[in-house]
Amino acid sequence: MKLTDNTILITGGTSGIGLGLAQRLQTMGNKVIVLGRNEKRIVEILRDNPDFDSYQADVSKPETLKDLPAWIMTNYPKLNMVINSAGIMHAYDLFDPELTLDELTAEINTNLIGTIAVDKLLLPQLVQQPEAMIVNVSSGLANVSSAAHPFYSATKAGVHMFTSALREQLIYAKHDHVHVVELVPPLVAETNLESTVTTEASGNMKLSDLVDAAIKGMTDNKIRVNAGAAKALRKAGQIAPDRTEHQMAGQMLKQYFPHGL
């Protein structure tokens, strides 16, 4: 797909991968709208990136998205790209008696339900464009589970499955002018998804390198962009998923819960 002269909505566009993609795509001659939940952060981003537009909503709360399609149709009727990058990640001890129901569902609501909701709400607009694209950000942990991140791993596996199903429904409905891309990042410490992880961590990929890989994959209409160490995780998930997950668990549980569970 030609990555110029598009109108693009990016959820989670005020930080991390979403912001990195927003800034790169804007310099390529696209109109970028960043969607975020924090009004103060949106103001900061627009100050530093005056060519952006913004929409305030919390993808984990579908009721805040109900007016989005009408707003897009009124202000950006040529919107033809959606990138779902909003995401949160936490390590959780499942034996912790203080682990609340809200904590159990927070990542599901943001990472999975938020992605599904935005795609579903904007699908009618996207299929009307001459060419369109949906990019859903999953993770290398969609292929092999991290025992320290049980909810994150589950949500990203869900994003992977949903993205594949969405692509096939579009093809079956003869809307194959709407390209569906799954962007599969490895660890990208610069995103601060986890504040305890440094850029020296094993498997870390520079944000700029991830953006490069994403742009190339989108240009080539790849159905899936396994970036950096995510390539090895996908292969391990196909060849030896049980052994890989057990080995990862031995390392990561000690790292995140050094005193045991």
177: CATH: 3.40.50.720
Is 1 contained in some domain? no
Task: Look at residue 236 in the predicted model and tell me its pLDDT.
Answer: 93
CA-to-CA distance for 181 and 137, rounded, in angstroms? 8
CA-to-CA distance for 45 and 52, rounded, in angstroms? 8
Task: Look at residue 189 in the predicted model and tell me its pLDDT.
Answer: 78
Is 2 contained in some domain? no
Q: Average pLDDT by consecutive 10-residue portion of the chain (261 residues)?
A: 97 96 98 97 97 97 96 98 96 96 94 98 98 98 96 97 98 97 92 65 87 98 96 94 95 93 90
Write the Ramachandran bin of 29: left for phi over 0, alpha for psi from -120 to 50, otherwise beta: left
Q: Is the Cβ–Cβ distance between 233 and 141 less than 8 Å? A: yes
CA-to-CA distance for 18 and 111, rounded, in angstroms? 13
Supply the pTM of this predicted model.
0.94
Instruction: State both tokens at 28.
Output: 């390529």
Q: Which residues are catalytic?
A: 152
Task: Look at residue 200 in the predicted model and tell me its pLDDT.
Answer: 64
Is 34 contained in some domain? yes
Name the 3-class secondary structure at 65.
Answer: helix
The residue among 4, 14, 24 whose CA lies nearest residue 209 is 24
DSSP annotation of 144 reads S
Is 244 contained in some domain? yes
CA-to-CA distance for 141 and 108, rounded, in angstroms? 14
Is 261 contained in some domain? no
Strand locations in 69-139 (E) = 81-84, 132-137
The residue among 35, 16, 227, 208 whose CA lies nearest residue 142 is 227
Is 64 contained in some domain? yes
Structural domain range at position 237 = 7-256
Is 44 contained in some domain? yes
Is 135 contained in some domain? yes
Q: Quote the number of domains for the chain.
A: 1
Name the 3-class secondary structure at 221.
Answer: coil
